[in-house]
């Protein structure tokens, strides 16, 4: 046992133990420690989870064990899967198989935007589309306010661009519909990992979900990626007024506030300074209508 403390990040949970990777292991101390929590931590009701920045003490050098004494406050918290301090949400959308659907893609993008974190779009399976059509799709995504990274886990094309993007952020998590190739992308990013890749099955071309526990893997010195695909069930905010900011192409139009009305929902009302000439406008309006009908009193929303 050494009488020193160290800081690190929780990279995995194992039953009642936390696996902690030290940021800067002091001389003679292993870089990865199996830790318990100080009981007062649980008494305070503060849970410790993957992604948490922690301070460890009572380090047992021989057994590579320690005790988590303190948890830093979180910069972000995702619940599905539970991960603290995520800084980048990577939304993976296939160019084909399953075919690109603006509606479904947007659901995932809106859910990603709800986290308030940086969002990176990845267009996967680029090998399935001729270059001119791929460029059209990229251009379409730019119209939605995103600069997509198009890649193929088959050919490896574009994978390096995503690696660089992930290396530029502290903690990235992937999400997207089943079967778009998330596990394949993670296998490309973390070659030592070998996640099971689910075959796209049946007429619906939906893949199976094959991964469960969250674990963080280092990519370069200061960045990590969660090995588990993130939220798979997209959802929308309860308040219709919160929908607009989730569309980057609409958000860009709202600074400075262009409308005569403070509570404007930007549906072409006279005095509203927001254009209705954008591709996802109709999607925005139908989303609004859905939220308004759900939030009507007496509907249990």
Q: Could you tell which of Zn ion, ligand GDP, none binds residue 197, using a CB distance below 5 to 8 A set by kind?
A: ligand GDP
Binding test (CB under 5 A) with Zn ion, winner from 214, 264, 288, 291? 264
| 177 close to 193: Cβ distance less than 8 angstroms | no
Q: Could you tell which of Zn ion, ligand GDP, none binds residue 200, using a CB distance below 5 to 8 A set by kind?
A: ligand GDP
Q: Is the bond leading into 175 cis (omega within 30 degrees of zero)?
A: no
Binding test (CB under 6 A) with ligand GDP, winner from 115, 178, 223, 228? 178
Q: Cα 197 from chain centroid? A: 19
Query: CA-to-CA distance for 58 and 19, rounded, in angstroms?
Result: 15
Binding test (CB under 5 A) with Zn ion, winner from 159, 195, 200, 272? 272
Q: Could you tell which of Zn ion, ligand GDP, none binds residue 111, using a CB distance below 5 to 8 A set by kind?
A: none
* Minimum gap (Å) between residue 190 Cβ and ligand GDP: 13
Q: Could you tell which of Zn ion, ligand GDP, none binds residue 180, using a CB distance below 5 to 8 A set by kind?
A: ligand GDP
Enumerate residues 61-100 that contact ligand GDP by CB under 6 A.
Answer: none
Task: Kindly state whether residue 223 participates in binding ligand GDP, applying the rule CB under 6 A.
Answer: no
Task: Kindly state whether residue 248 participates in binding ligand GDP, applying the rule CB under 6 A.
Answer: no
Q: Could you tell which of Zn ion, ligand GDP, none binds residue 179, using a CB distance below 5 to 8 A set by kind?
A: ligand GDP
* Minimum gap (Å) between residue 268 Cβ and Zn ion: 8
User: Beta-carbon neighbour count of residue 286 at 10 Å?
Assistant: 11
Task: Kindly state whether residue 121 participates in binding ligand GDP, applying the rule CB under 6 A.
Answer: no
Query: CA-to-CA distance for 256 and 78, rounded, in angstroms?
Result: 30
Q: Go through the chain and tell me how many residues it has.
A: 301
- Whether the CA torsion 15, 21, 26, 30 is positive or negative: it is positive
Task: Kindly state whether residue 129 participates in binding Zn ion, applying the rule CB under 5 A.
Answer: no
Burial 118-156 (b: 16+ CB within 10 A, else e): ebbbbbbbbbebeeeebeebbebbeebbbebbbbbbeee
Task: Kindly state whether residue 184 participates in binding ligand GDP, applying the rule CB under 6 A.
Answer: yes
Q: For ligand GDP, which stretch binds (CB under 6 A), given 112-120, 181-189, 231-239, 279-287?
A: 181-189
Task: Kindly state whether residue 8 participates in binding ligand GDP, applying the rule CB under 6 A.
Answer: no
258 phi, psi to nearest 5 deg: -95, 0
Enumerate residues 123-142 that contact ligand GDP by CB under 6 A.
Answer: 124-125, 127-128
Query: CA-to-CA distance for 105 and 177, rounded, in angstroms?
Result: 8
- 3-class SS shares of the chain: helix, strand, coil, % to 5: 25, 25, 50
Q: Could you tell which of Zn ion, ligand GDP, none binds residue 106, using a CB distance below 5 to 8 A set by kind?
A: none
Task: Kindly state whether residue 181 participates in binding ligand GDP, applying the rule CB under 6 A.
Answer: yes
Instruction: Identify how many contiguous H helices and E strands the chain contains and give both numbers.
Output: 7, 13
Q: Could you tell which of ligand GDP, Zn ion, none binds residue 152, using a CB distance below 5 to 8 A set by kind?
A: ligand GDP
């Amino acid at each position: 046992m050494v009488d020193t403390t160290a800081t690190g990040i929780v990279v995995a949970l194992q039953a009642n133990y936390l696996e902690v990777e030290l940021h800067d292991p002091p001389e003679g101390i292993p870089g990865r420690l199996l830790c318990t929590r100080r009981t007062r931590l649980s008494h305070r009701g503060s849970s410790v989870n993957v992604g948490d920045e922690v301070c460890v003490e009572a380090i047992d050098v021989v057994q590579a064990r320690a005790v988590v004494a303190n948890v830093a406050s979180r910069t972000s918290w995702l619940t599905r899967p539970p991960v603290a301090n995520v800084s980048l949400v990577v939304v993976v959308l296939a160019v084909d198989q399953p075919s690109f659907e603006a509606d479904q893609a947007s659901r995932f993008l809106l859910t990603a935007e709800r986290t308030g974190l940086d969002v990176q779009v990845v267009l996967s399976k680029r090998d399935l589309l001729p270059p001119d059509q791929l460029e059209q799709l990229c251009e379409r995504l730019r119209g939605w306010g995103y600069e997509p990274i198009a890649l193929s886990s088959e050919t490896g094309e574009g994978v390096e661009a995503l690696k660089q993007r992930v290396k530029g952020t502290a903690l990235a998590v992937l999400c997207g519909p089943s079967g778009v190739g998330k596990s394949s992308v993670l296998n490309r990013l973390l070659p030592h990992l070998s996640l099971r890749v689910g075959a796209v099955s049946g007429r619906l071309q939906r893949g199976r979900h094959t991964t469960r526990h969250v674990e963080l893997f280092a990519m370069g010195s200061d960045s990590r990626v969660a090995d588990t695909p993130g939220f798979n069930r997209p959802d929308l905010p309860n308040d219709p007024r919160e929908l607009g900011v989730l569309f980057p192409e609409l958000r860009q139009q709202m600074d400075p506030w262009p409308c005569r009305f403070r509570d404007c929902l930007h549906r072409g009302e006279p005095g509203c300074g927001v254009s209705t000439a954008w591709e996802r406008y109709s999607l925005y309006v139908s989303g609004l209508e859905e939220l308004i009908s759900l939030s009507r009193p007496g509907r249990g929303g």
